[in-house]
Amino acid sequence: MRVVPAQPAAFSFEPARTALVIIDMQRDFLEPGGFGAALGNDVSLLQAIVPAVELLLALAREHDMLVIHTRESHLADLSDCPAAKHEVGTAGLRIGDPGPMGRILVRGEPGNQIIPSLSPIAGEWVIDKPGKGMFYATGLGDRLIAQGIEYLIFAGVTTEVCVQTSMREANDRGYRCLLIEEATESYFPAFKQATLEMIIAQGGIVGHTATLAAMVAALSEEQA
């Protein structure tokens, strides 16, 4: 077992039963000229976490942990996008509309790809999810059970939307969850801070949070 000093208490995990989950690090959310920027968001906030996520990804690969990448995406005919979701936002900048990097949040479009420095490699799972949470309508739950995964370490964007929803779904399913503070971000810094606080409230009601340094130390040789 590895032990990470964390909030609200230490987080223990067994790398062989752990997956690193990287939520929605897709070009449209992170790159200048993408959908996120077109909505008026400052994407430099999200870009700032890329080195931290790269480091986590390298660590997970080094320790033979399962790596799961998610993308928020929809089928080209939008049959998996309910009206309540499709109606959100400004006309012309809605899901399926032509955006600066192809059709917005549609599978296969350039903007829907994971940023190059975090590109999945063979053996890593890529989960296309039509919702905010990674379990809804993805089949991921059965795959995780089959793989014997018990612990999930989270990174990605945005903290209060797809990261938090996925953590809550995982928590309800009995997974032990840890979010790495420097490896997640929001377009709204106050929302990130609030999410970190609500995850660990009431004794860790949704899971744990830890710093990247604590995670690096936990995976160092000395603890092995």
Annotated active-site positions, please? 24, 129, 162
Taking the complex as a whole, the smallest distance from the CB of residue 76 to ligand C5J amounts, in Å, to 19
Our finding on whether 162 is near ligand C5J (CB under 6 A) is yes
Least distance (Å) between residue 116 CB and ligand C5J: 18
218 binds ligand C5J (CB under 6 A): no
**How many chain residues are in contact with ligand C5J, going by CB under 6 A?**
6
Of 101, 91, 90, 95, the C-alpha closest to 77 is 95
The piece of 45-53, 54-62, 121-129, 158-166 that touches ligand C5J (CB under 6 A) is 158-166
Instruction: Name which of 13 and 187 has its Cβ closer to ligand C5J.
Output: 187
Q: Which is nearer to ligand C5J, 5 or 125 (CB)?
A: 125
The nearer residue to ligand C5J, 74 or 208, going by C-beta atoms, is 74
Residues of this chain, 137-156, that bind ligand C5J according to CB under 6 A: none
Contacts with ligand C5J in 15-34 (CB under 6 A)? 24
Give Rg (Cα) of the chain. Answer: 17
Residue 72 Cβ, how far from ligand C5J at the closest point, in Å? 5
Q: Out of 95, 157, 206, 218, which residue is the one contacting ligand C5J (CB under 6 A)?
A: 157
Could you write out the DSSP letters of every residue in the chain?
Answer: -EEE--BSS-EEE-GGGEEEEEE--BHHHHSTTSHHHHTT--THHHHTTHHHHHHHHHHHHHTT-EEEEEEE-B-TT-TTS-HHHHT-S-TTSSTTSEEBTEETTBTTSGGGSBPGGG---TT-EEEEESSSSSSTTT-HHHHHHHHT--EEEEEEE-IIIIIHHHHHHHHHTT-EEEEEEEEEE-SSHHHHHHHHHHHHHHHHSS-EEE-HHHHHHHTSGGG-
Q: Are 133 and 21 in contact (CB under 8 A)?
A: no
**Binding test (CB under 6 A) with ligand C5J, winner from 158, 184, 195, 209:** 158
Q: Does 161 help bind ligand C5J (rule: CB under 6 A)?
A: yes
Task: Indicate the residue among 19 and 162 with the shorter CB distance to ligand C5J.
Answer: 162
Burial (Cβ within 10 Å: 0-12, 13-18, ≥19) of residue 141 = middle
- Which of 16/126 has CB closer to ligand C5J? 126
Tokens for 82, please give them: 């309910």
Asked if 177 interacts with ligand C5J (CB under 6 A), we say: no
Report the site for ligand C5J in 53-112 (rule: CB under 6 A): 72
Q: Which residues of the chain form contacts with ligand C5J (CB under 6 A)?
A: 24, 72, 157-158, 161-162
